[in-house]
Amino acid sequence: MFDSVEDILEHARSFHRNLGTAFDRLEHNTGSEKLRLMLDYLAKHESSLARSLKEFQKGASETRLHQYFVHGPPAELMRELSEIDVAAQDSVEDIQEKLLKLDNALIEIYSQLAEKARTPEIADIFQALHETATRERNNFVRGVQDL
C-alpha cells in the first residue's frame, strides 16, 4: 500500500466526518435521553476532529503532504476500524466500549505511522496526531462520565 501523508490525513478526516454524521443520525432515532446526549456530544466531537484535521492539512507544507509511505496504516487495524458498528439499539455502555476500541485503534495507527515515517518531520506529524487522539480519548472518557 502506497499512501501519501495527505491521503492518510484525508482518510482520517473522512472517517471522522462520516462517523459524526452517523452519530447525528442515530441521535434522532433513539428514545433514551442519556443516549441522545451522548450521541449529540459524539457527533459534535467527530465533526470537530474532522475540522481539526482539515486545518492541520492546510498548515502543513506541500512537501510534507506529498511524502509517501511504503506501508500505510496496518491492514488489521484498518479492518478493525471498519468493523466497528454503532447502532440505534446499542446501550450507552456498548457505544462507549466501541468508541474506546475505535479510539485505541486510531491511536495505534498514528503511533505506527510515526514509527514508519521516513523523515523526522513526518514522524512529528503522526506523533502530534497520536498525542491529540490520546488526549481526545481521555476527554471522551471524562465527558461521557459527566452525562
Total count of domains within the chain: 1
Q: What CATH number does the domain containing 103 carry?
A: 1.20.1260
Q: Does residue 111 have a pLDDT over 90?
A: yes
| Angle at which helices 92-116 and 75-83 cross, to 10° | 160
How far apart CA 14 and CA 85 sit, in angstroms, is 16
Whole-prediction pTM: 0.81
The pLDDT value given to residue 95: 85
Given this model, what pLDDT does residue 2 score?
55
Give tens-digit pLDDT for 23-78: 898 888 887 888 888 889 889 888 988 988 898 888 888 888 888 877 777 677 67
**Residue range of the domain that includes 65:** 3-145
Q: Which three cell numbers stand for residue 58?
A: 492546510
